[in-house]
Amino acid sequence: MRTQIWTPTGNPLRDERDRRLPRIAGPCSLVIFGVTGDLARKKLMPAVYDLANRGLLPPAFALVGFARRDWADQDFAQIVHDSVREHARTEFREDVWNELSKGIRFVMGDFSDNEAFDTLARTVEDLDRVRGTRGNHAFYLSIPPKFFGPVVEQLERSGLSASHNDAWRRVVIEKPFGHDLESARELNDTIGKVFSSGSVFRIDHYLGKETVQNLLALRFANTMFEPIWNANYVDHVQITMAEDIGIGGRAGYYDGIGAARDVIQNHLLQLLALAAMEEPLSFDARDVRIEKEKVLTAIKLPSDLAAHTSRGQYAAGWQGGVQVDGYLQEDGISPTSQTETFAAIKLEIDTRRWAGVPFYLRTGKRLGRRVTELAVVFKRAPHLPFSETDTEELGQNAFVVRVQPDEGVTMRFGSKVPGTQMEVRDVNMDFAYGDSFTESSPEAYERLILDVLLGDPPLFPRHEEVELGWKVLDPILDFWAEQGQPDQYQSGTWGPQSAYDMIARDGRSWRRP
């Protein structure tokens, strides 16, 4: 007889060779603070429905909303229903919705309102009794970071943060995780007083994206990339996250934060870590984290920050056929605001693998188009047995991972132009995720919420990584704070002149993604 391999829980019906059985979360509830926000309506609640529709939520599941509105359970259920109808990825099925809606509850209150949290505690206990959620509850703080402290204290005071026996309590927070190293530590202390580090899930939804996970598969499951993935062959790496939109209605959040804190500190440094790290011993959360922390620790800043960083603010202009305001004219923004909406920095990594290979990171709003990509640009061939005119149109080979949109991978290399002459020109070879594995790709939030409920941490950055990110960024932010107004760039372009100058100093140029 073949040997049976049981899962650690000892469930005799689970066998790790049984790849058909999905991972279904155990009995639990998800309590969302800030249910009236955009994120909750457009992403979280639809993701919960999509999970239910895919059969990945347990029959004993409950969804609790907490907000200041004067709503009854049915009113909130209606809000969830509408957001599911509008934003869910999978088709709407009445049966699934009916089951889900039976576990929907709403608690009205303020974050300073003791009574509201006591009501919440009673609601949650009631769910244990009525729905059988067995004391397992996750608290999703979809609220501005300044409220994290008060809410977490309330959770402790009302006894919501304490679990009994095998039950768990988890807390989920969204970036930004502080605005510098010091505040990140304070935030961590505040939450750490109430929840153990294993119960805190920091969501960086980029890490839930299939392409980001695929980066590890590409690198470590194949033989053809890894041998050239080092300073011997790589000239430099460009990581770009560009948005075509402005700040929209997020003036209150964005002003004073800026592009570097909003994007570089988390998304781009995480992408850099995944692209640059050594092979982990395994894909266990711990092993991957160790490698990411090593590479983040090895990051070296340029000594001349003025020459190798750039920051900008979008000015009025035409973007994609629409006339748009500049940042300083946006509602709620002071006309003297020094917040950057574009940031570009050059980093180096002090390891043998990456010695002398610069990593250029840039992000901005109101740029040419919406795109996130990681481009590894290779060195030119050391010797070209062609005449100079033959290879005039040959650029550098490149390997580009497109994170969004059109998730996929592009390789750029030289090819002979058909004809009697020897002429070599760049061509692209493309792998589009959507072509090879369409539609099955779940939304990042589906994956992340399920992982929270399962208690599976690999895709969540740990506090140590957050701190390392701030250690990289803090000196740059301090330097920028003394430089006055950021450079203006016209909306719909690829950033200020200083960004072009900064990379041109190294004899390189930005890709037009």
Partner 1 sequence: MTVRLDGTTAAQVASAISEERFRQGSSAVGRVLTLVIIADEATQADAVHAAARAAREHPCRILTAIPRPGHGPAQLDAEITVGGSDGLGELAVLRLRGPLAHHVESVVLPLLVPDAPVVVWWPGTCPSTPALDPVGALAQRRITDSAENSRPLHLLQALADGYVNGDTDLAWTRITPWRALLASALDEPYDEITSVVVHAPKTNPSAVLLVSWLLGCLKVPVTIKASKGPGITGVDIHTVRGDIIVSRPDGRIAAIARPGMPDREAALPRRSIESLIAEELRRLDPDDIYGEVLERFAAGVTAAANASDPGSGKKPTSKRSGATSSSSSTPVKK
Contacts with partner 1 by CB under 8 A lie at 1-2, 9, 11-15, 17-22, 24, 26-27, 52, 55, 58-60, 93, 95-96, 98-99, 102, 129-132, 134, 166, 430-432, 435-440
3-state secondary structure of 417: coil
Report the C-alpha gap between 470 and 476 in whole angstroms. 10
CA–CA gap between residue 450 and residue 439 (Å, rounded): 19
Phi, psi torsion values for 505, nearest 5 degrees = -60, -30
317-319 and 408-416 beta bridge pairing: unpaired
- Cβ 427 to partner 1, closest distance in Å? 12
* Least distance in angstroms from the C-beta of 219 to partner 1: 20
> Is 267 among the residues known to form the active site?
yes
CA distance 232 to 488: 37
Cβ atoms 131, 60 nearer than 8 A = yes
User: Minimum distance from CB of 19 to partner 1 (Å)?
Assistant: 5
**Phi, psi (deg, nearest 5) at residue 336:** -110, 15
- Integer Cα distance of 293 and 287 in angstroms: 10
Q: How far is CA 389 from the centre of its chain?
A: 44
β-pairing verdict for 169-174 and 137-141: parallel
Taking the complex as a whole, how short is the minimal distance between the CB of residue 205 and partner 1, in angstroms?
23
Residue (136 or 351) nearer to partner 1, CB: 136
Given the complex with partner 1, which of 163 and 497 has the nearer CB atom? Answer: 163
Provide, rounded to whole angstroms, the least separation between the CB of residue 320 and partner 1.
Answer: 24
Smallest gap, in angstroms, from Cβ of residue 429 to partner 1? 8
Distance between CA atoms of 391 and 381, rounded to whole angstroms?
11
Reported as type and span, the H/E element at residue 317 is: strand 317-319
Question: Bridge-partner residues for 402, per DSSP?
Answer: 373, 408
Q: What distance in Å separates the CA atoms of residue 244 and residue 246, rounded to the nearest whole number? A: 7
Q: Rounded to the nearest whole angstrom, what is the least distance from the CB of residue 88 to partner 1 in the complex?
A: 15
Task: Output phi, psi for 285, to 5 deg.
Answer: -50, -45
Counted residue by residue, the chain has a size of 513
Report the nearest approach of partner 1 to the CB of residue 90 (Å): 12
Residue matched to tokens 């010797």? 383
Instruction: Kindly tell me which of 245 and 417 has the beta carbon lying closer to partner 1.
Output: 417
Q: Which is nearer to partner 1, 130 or 422 (CB)?
A: 130
Q: CB-wise, 91 or 331, nearer to partner 1?
A: 91
Count of CB atoms situated within 10 Å of the CB of 397: 20
Residue closer to partner 1 by CB (options 420, 440) is 440
3-class state of residue 446 by DSSP:
helix
DSSP code string of 242-304: E-SS--TT-HHHHTTTHHIIIIIIIIIHHHHHHHHPPPPSSSSHHHHHHHHHHHHHTEE--S-
Q: Which one of 164, 267, 308, 463 is the catalytic residue?
A: 267
Residues assigned a catalytic role:
267
